[in-house]
């Protein structure tokens, strides 16, 4: 059964049972009240009858007229008076109706009693007259409220229950569609996504609920899939292209050296050329393997809680060891007072590698001019900004800066492989962070990194 119908059936069942119980409670309460109230009215009439018939025989006609005027006669109302002899003998005169024996016993024992025979209700009292004689006075009548009004109430509740059932069905369908529509929308959007258009993302609803969390989870999964697919798709072509040049040089140099006898200096020169190309081949192979290993497989990386300020200090030390001419200045003026806001969950080695690549690029492409690293924090993220005043990136090249082995058109005079920035982006995204590059040609580049603040135990 589809979840859409299951929700409808569940809502209908819950609301219908609740409405049924509510109607049953109302019917029972009013019915019970009508019995209690009617018995009380009969008891009052019994007391009135006893007073009129037994204590005021001379004024019977006057009192009866007053009772008829002020005390409404009930439907099929009958009055019964029985004299008591001794403690338990009730004298029933000839022509009088014999009442229920259990009812009579209750009157003798408790002084009051009531019972029902069909729709005729009986209520009576044990009464002592002024002359000391004891009597049982009973009044019976048809409970018009129960026979007519309760029947009307019952019909009204049944009709209301049917209308409520119809309303419940409509409301259940509306609620179900309201709940299911976002999920159906997600399903439609996911069905459009394939390996050919992994750049598509689900629209995030504005409501802060499980649907929004589901959409965010899907988008995070798509981020990982896209990065993995791009890496795998480009790895072979990049590897064959990048490895082909040094291999061709090595083979050519070897063929040249072996083509005829040469002196020692020529062999040394050929071996030196082969060594240089082999070193380039080694570096490119390591870069390719490292890039492939950061294909957004976050589970394979051990993550710990680490402080970003210490990370930046280590990056600065590492970069300056690589080249003593590199100038790096740190700006910690925006550090939060709470040092816990500088902690992130991540892999120290990978984050160190990502930041090192970015800082080295800044130093290299600014011809060893100063590179500034600023650290700050918002309520949810640690913010790292690396800024240089180097050659910048031409605007036409900006869409391709994350493509492996792509190098901007103005970097021909600088040694590089075009692997550092794509590698850094993979690492940042692996840590659920974001990287943003802004650049103006001949004026410099700024790289902004946002990493989620660590919250809770690892």
Domain boundary (273, 293, 313) is at: 293
pLDDT digits (tens, 9 = 90+) for 179-219: 777 777 778 888 888 766 777 787 787 777 777 888 888 88
Same domain, 435 and 317: yes
Per the structure, the complete domain to which residue 270 belongs is given by 224-293
Q: Compare 301 and 426 and report the one with higher pLDDT.
A: 426
Same domain, 282 and 354: no
Average pLDDT over residues 9-19: 79
Longest alpha-carbon distance in the chain: 162
Note whether residue 160 is domain-resident: no
Token pair belonging to 309? 């300020």
Same domain, 263 and 374: no
Note whether residue 251 is domain-resident: yes
How far is residue 49's CA from residue 46's CA, in Å, rounded to a whole number?
Answer: 5
Nearest to 452 by CA among 426, 425, 434, 438: 434
Note whether residue 274 is domain-resident: yes
Same domain, 312 and 444: yes
Q: How many domains does the chain have?
A: 3
Nearest to 136 by CA among 123, 124, 122: 124
Domain boundary (258, 293, 328) is at: 293
Note whether residue 198 is domain-resident: no
Same domain, 229 and 280: yes
Note whether residue 169 is domain-resident: no
Same domain, 134 and 71: yes
Domain boundary (237, 265, 293) is at: 293
Token pair belonging to 51? 């007073």
Confidence grade of residue 292 (pLDDT, cut at 50, 70, 90): low
pLDDT digits (tens, 9 = 90+) for 159-188: 888 888 888 888 877 776 777 777 777 788
Note whether residue 201 is domain-resident: no
Measured from the Cβ of residue 247, the count of other Cβ atoms closer than 10 Å reads: 14
Same domain, 23 and 73: yes
CATH code for the domain of 362: 3.30.565.10
Same domain, 236 and 377: no
Q: Given a cut of 80, is residue 114 above it in pLDDT? A: yes
Mean pLDDT of the chain: 79
Note whether residue 255 is domain-resident: yes
Same domain, 84 and 110: yes
CATH code for the domain of 137: 3.30.450
Note whether residue 362 is domain-resident: yes
Same domain, 231 and 373: no
Q: Is the dihedral of CA 412, 413, 416, 419 positive or negative?
A: negative
Same domain, 322 and 441: yes
pLDDT digits (tens, 9 = 90+) for 61-71: 555 555 554 45
Same domain, 131 and 104: yes
């Amino acid at each position: 059964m589809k979840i859409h119908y299951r929700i409808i059936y569940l809502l209908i069942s819950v609301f219908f049972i609740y409405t049924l119980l509510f109607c049953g409670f109302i019917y029972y309460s009013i019915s019970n009240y009508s019995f209690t109230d009617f018995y009380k009215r009969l008891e009052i009439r019994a007391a009135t009858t006893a007073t009129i018939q037994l204590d005021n025989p001379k004024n019977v006609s006057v009192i009866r007229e007053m009772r008829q005027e002020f005390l409404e006669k009930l439907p099929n109302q009958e009055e019964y008076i029985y004299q008591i002899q001794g403690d338990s003998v009730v004298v029933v005169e000839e022509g009088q109706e014999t009442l229920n024996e259990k009812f009579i016993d209750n009157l003798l024992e408790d002084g009051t009693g009531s019972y029902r025979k069909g729709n005729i209700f009986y209520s009576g009292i044990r009464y002592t007259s002024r002359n000391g004689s004891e009597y049982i006075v009973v009044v019976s009548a048809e409970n018009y409220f129960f026979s007519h009004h309760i029947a009307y109430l019952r019909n009204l509740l049944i009709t209301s229950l049917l209308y409520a059932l119809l309303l419940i069905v409509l409301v259940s369908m509306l609620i179900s569609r309201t709940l299911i529509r976002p999920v159906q929308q997600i399903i439609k959007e996911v069905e459009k996504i394939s390996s050919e258009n992994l750049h598509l993302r689900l629209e995030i609803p504005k409501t802060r609920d499980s649907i929004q969390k589901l959409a965010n989870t899907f988008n995070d999964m798509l981020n990982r899939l896209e990065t993995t697919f791009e890496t795998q798709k480009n790895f072979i072509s990049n590897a064959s292209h990048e490895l082909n040049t040094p291999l061709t040089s090595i083979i050519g140099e070897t063929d040249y050296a072996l083509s005829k006898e040469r002196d020692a200096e020529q062999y040394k020169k050929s071996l030196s050329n082969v060594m240089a190309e082999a070193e380039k081949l080694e570096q490119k192979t390591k870069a390719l393997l490292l890039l492939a290993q950061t294909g957004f497989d976050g589970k394979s990386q051990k993550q710990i809680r680490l402080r970003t300020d210490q990370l930046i200090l280590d990056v600065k030390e590492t970069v300056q060891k690589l080249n003593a001419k590199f100038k790096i200045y740190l700006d910690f003026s925006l550090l939060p007072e709470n040092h816990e806001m500088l902690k992130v969950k991540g892999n120290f080695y990978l984050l160190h590698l990502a930041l090192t690549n970015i800082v080295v690029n800044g130093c290299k492409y600014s011809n060893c001019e100063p590179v500034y690293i600023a650290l700050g924090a918002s309520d949810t993220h640690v913010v790292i900004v690396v800024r240089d005043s180097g050659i910048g990136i031409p605007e036409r090249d900006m869409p391709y800066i994350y493509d492996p082995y792509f190098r901007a058109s103005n970097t021909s005079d600088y040694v590089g492989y075009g692997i550092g920035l794509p590698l850094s982006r993979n690492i940042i995204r692996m840590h659920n962070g974001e990287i943003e590059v802004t650049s103006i040609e001949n004026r410099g580049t700024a790289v902004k990194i946002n990493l989620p603040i660590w919250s809770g135990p690892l």
